[in-house]
Structure 1
Amino acid sequence: MKVRGERECQQCGTRWSYYETGSIECPECESLRSVGLNDRTTHTDTPVKLDLSAHQSRFGEAHETLPKDGVTELKTDIREYTRKRGFIRGGELLTLDSAYLAARELLEAVDIYDRIRDPTDTEREYLFSLLAGAADGVRPPTEDVPESLRKARGMATVHAVEEYRRDLLVYLDELESREVSDDTVSSETDRDAVGETVKRDSDTAASRSSLAQNVLEQLRDRTKRVEALGGDVSPTDADALVNAANAIGEFIRNGDDIALTRAQDTLSEQSI
């Protein structure tokens, strides 16, 4: 969606950033009457933190099976967090960050773990390590993911990469629209100054979009394969998809050809 990020309260005059608070309510007087001060910009990310402290305390007392109510509440909190998250903040393209990835993996892992009749110490250590670090974006190392739980990382990658891919496409549309608008203004300025329209190179965003979308299709193809396998791929392959997604994001953000090549190479080396 597009929002006017800089707000001013009509009641008390306080100014604040919607991008930082995620609310049109005045932080000083709580009035809902405010006006936007800047142009609308694309914004998909809501400021939100994942608080897992209560779940850490509750699950820390569980030595084998997890408390049923606790599992349900944990899933609800994680889903609420991921629902509010996005990767465009005030027109700025973000990375597919570790906090979002960890939350996605924890959601998948607790579901799988809860169905294991007699979890091993290794499985339990993995889950609790993930629970302890997810809020800070810390996940267990790739080599520490148990075979029985590698589907969690695989499916977390599928969902996270797909959400990121959607925002990348939104951002590309925004880039192209912005360039068309800028070119229109530039053409009018040149016409006024010189008496004729000066032809300008206006295909930068369009070219970037075309190149990026080709690789995004390859990325989508790989994630669909992982999804078809129920996430049952090596954690190394799953992590590679995340790296490719972030490399594409870097290219879209900065026009870095090296990043695009890195993404293409990563995807071509995939065994899935």
Structure 2
Amino acid sequence: MRIRGERECWDCGRQWSYYETGSVSCPDCGSIGSTGLGDRERHTADPVELDLSPARQLAGQERWEAALEEAIERCGEYVRRQGFLRGGELLAFEDTYLAAAELRAVARQQQRDLRVGDDEEIYLLALLRGADIGERPSPGEVPATEAMRSARALAYAKAIKEYRSEVSAYLGDHPNPEAASVLGTVAEHVKRVQALDGDVDLRTIEALVDATKGVGRAIREDNEGALAAARDRLGRL
């Protein structure tokens, strides 16, 4: 949506940025009456942080059912609120978002399987330790079971689709035909991953992640080299 993120309080005159606080209340007096300043800009990103400390603590106590539920809830809230447009600016496609989406999907899958095996436990602990600081397990660290590998592939495919949607909205205001073309190729690959229910080589989905990051970087930094690298990655799939 488009909003006037720079606000001025009717009561005390304080000016603040909704883009930064995510709150319509004046940070000084608490009034919710304010005037929008400047132009309306596309904005989808709420100020939100991912904190998995409670889930890690539960896992450390071998309370896996509670740990999974906590991780699902916290990752779900983060993914829902972490948009990619802030005050008209395109944000990066970051690993914290990907790891949160992956952990939520894997935890849900593990809830259905009821039993946490040794490989799954190591994988889940790696996600719990690293997701909130932007660390993801490598493709080789994902357990060889079809369920775990599909969970990762589908989580990443959905994340890429969400990012692509917001990049497309951004390109509506800042046309870039070459970037749009590469995004279209990404979309076709994502459709294939989803049609196959995630049954793809994890190196393929990783290449799609890298290509998507490259498109975002190309747009944000006006970096033709990043766009060429993204196109090359897709061409080798």
- Normalised to the residue count of structure 1, the TM-score between the two structures is 0.80
User: Aligned residue for 1:40?
Assistant: 40
Determine whether 1:256 maps to 2:220: no
State the 1:116 CA deviation. Answer: 3.1
Counterpart contact for 2:45–2:86, Cα < 8 Å: yes
User: Aligned residue for 2:81?
Assistant: 84
Quote the Cα distance in structure 2 between the aligned partners of 1:46 and 1:109. Answer: 25
- Aligned counterpart in structure 2 of residue 122 of structure 1, from 97, 101, 119: 119
Q: Deviations over 1:121-151 (max 9, x none)?
A: 2210110110122111111223211112222
What one-letter code is carried by the residue in structure 2 that aligns with 1:94? Answer: L
Q: Deviations over 1:65-93 (max 9, x none)?
A: x32x5534432332222111111111111
User: Aligned residue for 1:17?
Assistant: 17
**Other structure's SS at 1:36 match:** strand
Matches within 5 A, 1:28-177: 28-62=28-62, 66-67=64-65, 70-148=67-145, 149-175=148-174
Quote the Cα distance in structure 2 between the aligned partners of 1:226 and 1:144. Answer: 20
Matches within 5 A, 1:199-210: 205=175, 208=176, 210=177
Quote the Cα distance in structure 1 between the aligned partners of 2:113 and 2:223. Answer: 45
Counterpart contact for 2:43–2:88, Cα < 8 Å: yes
Largest Rg, 1 or 2 = 1
Quote the Cα distance in structure 2 between the aligned partners of 1:220 and 1:3. Answer: 28
* Residues matched between the structures, number: 235
What one-letter code is carried by the residue in structure 1 that aligns with 2:60? Answer: G
What one-letter code is carried by the residue in structure 1 that aligns with 2:187? Answer: R
Q: Percent identity?
A: 43
User: Aligned residue for 2:206?
Assistant: 239
Distance 1:47-1:106 versus aligned 2 partners, 3 A rule: same
Counterpart contact for 2:127–2:137, Cα < 8 Å: yes
Gapped regions of structure 1 (runs ≥ 5)? 176-204
Structure 1 residue runs of 4 or more that deviate by more than 4 Å after TM superposition: none
State the 1:245 CA deviation. Answer: 0.7
State the 1:115 CA deviation. Answer: 3.0
What one-letter code is carried by the residue in structure 2 that aligns with 1:158? Answer: A
What one-letter code is carried by the residue in structure 2 that aligns with 1:121? Answer: D
Distance 1:78-1:118 versus aligned 2 partners, 3 A rule: closer
State the 1:240 CA deviation. Answer: 0.9
Counterpart contact for 1:42–1:174, Cα < 8 Å: no
**Other structure's SS at 1:115 match:** helix
User: Aligned residue for 1:179?
Assistant: none
Gapped regions of structure 2 (runs ≥ 5)? none
Quote the Cα distance in structure 2 between the aligned partners of 1:251 and 1:54. Answer: 37
**Other structure's SS at 1:7 match:** strand
State the 1:152 CA deviation. Answer: 2.4
- Aligned counterpart in structure 1 of residue 179 of structure 2, from 204, 212, 223: 212
Quote the Cα distance in structure 2 between the aligned partners of 1:33 and 1:56. Answer: 41
**Other structure's SS at 1:147 match:** coil
Quote the Cα distance in structure 1 between the aligned partners of 2:162 and 2:15. Answer: 32
State the 1:153 CA deviation. Answer: 1.9
State the 1:118 CA deviation. Answer: 4.2
State the 1:117 CA deviation. Answer: 4.9
Quote the Cα distance in structure 2 between the aligned partners of 1:29 and 1:235. Answer: 52
Distance 1:229-1:62 versus aligned 2 partners, 3 A rule: farther
